[in-house]
Amino acid sequence: MGIDVLREAVRALESGRPAALVTVVASGGMTPAKPGFKMLVRPDGKTTGTVGGGALEAQAVQAALAAIRSRGSTRLRFSEECGGLAQLGMVCGGEIELFVDYMSPGPEVWVFGAGHVGLAVGELAAFTGFRVTLVDDRPEYADEKRAPWAHSMMACDFVDAASKAPGGADSYVVIVTRGHAWDAQVLYEILRLEPRPYYVGMMGSKPKVKSCFDGLRAKGVSEEALAVVHAPIGLAIGGDSPREIAVSVVAEMVAARNGRDPKCLQGGAGYGGASNA
């Protein structure tokens, strides 16, 4: 049974979908679930394998779905001193501890803006192991023929897309639209996500960033939220062509992915910031 569950986990990750693997790490009493039992839970709630069935398994599925949404692993414990499995109405009694392991298909970045800079950033991000979603409100720009390396393309309103962006530890956002107004609107939606993406960067000069942040403060965005934004985006390597900017931006993302604080490495890469068209 364990082999079948693990094979399904590999298939899910290879397809680019996250999942959660629930494993019984300890049990006692009359519970049928024994250490080593495994169950894979997909984002739609479908499962492979079992951790004992009944009310316990229903609780495990809910914990797994929460782990997928938050992109973080957790433990689930029903100990004898707290009532054990009887608190779930299970007549078998006993106690159990489960480890709910969030399984990521890898970090993903949503690039808002499919102009020259956005295209270059997306291509280099894909090369360095990110799954890339490219977003633009112009269908001719959000065309998969322009970006065969992209995991997905979205030709839709920027704000609508931003409200659907994923958050959590494996989520990155790069905002390089063709104008200040769109950048500010996207950033506002991104900072409202719960959980927020791990990395959020916005292209623009320091005056543009200040103007954008002032506008967001007026909308009630907190200083704590604004502090997580890398703006001006990128490491200060001095380049100004789209590909040089992409190197700067993706280097900052890789630093963040590897646990380095990009703000300790950068001097800010503003690039004038008026347009990515």
Residue 77 pLDDT class (50, 70, 90 cuts): confident
Q: Does residue 261 or residue 101 have the better pLDDT? A: 101
Domains of the chain, first to last: 2-103 (no CATH), 108-264 (3.40.50.720)
Q: What is the mean pLDDT of residues 171-179?
A: 96
Question: What are the pLDDT digits (tens) for 26-53?
Answer: 887 666 778 999 999 999 999 999 988 7
Q: 36, exposed or middle or buried, with CB in 10 Å at 0-12, 13-18, 19+?
A: exposed
Is 52:76 a contact under the CB 8 Å cutoff? no
Phi, psi for residue 266 in degrees, rounded to 5: -110, 160
Q: 6, exposed or middle or buried, with CB in 10 Å at 0-12, 13-18, 19+?
A: middle
Place of tokens 């689930």: 76
Place of tokens 């506008």: 215
Residue 83 pLDDT class (50, 70, 90 cuts): very low
Sequence-ordered strand ranges (E) for the chain: 19-28, 38-41, 47-49, 74-78, 95-103, 108-112, 131-136, 152-155, 168-175, 197-202, 229-230
**Token pair for residue 276?**
């990515």
Q: What pLDDT score was predicted for residue 80?
A: 54
Question: What are the pLDDT digits (tens) for 221-244?
Answer: 999 999 999 999 999 898 889 999
Cα(253)–Cα(251) distance, integer angstroms:
5
| pTM exceeds 0.95 | no
Q: SS3 of 8, please?
A: helix
Above pLDDT 90, what percent of the chain? 66
Q: SS3 of 154, please?
A: strand
**Token pair for residue 167?**
């958050």
Cα(175)–Cα(208) distance, integer angstroms:
13
Q: What pLDDT score was predicted for residue 81?
A: 53
Cα(25)–Cα(31) distance, integer angstroms:
13
Number of helical (H) and strand (E) elements in the chain, helices listed first: 8, 11
How high does pLDDT run on average in the chain? 87
Q: What pLDDT score was predicted for residue 57?
A: 85
**Token pair for residue 191?**
């900072």
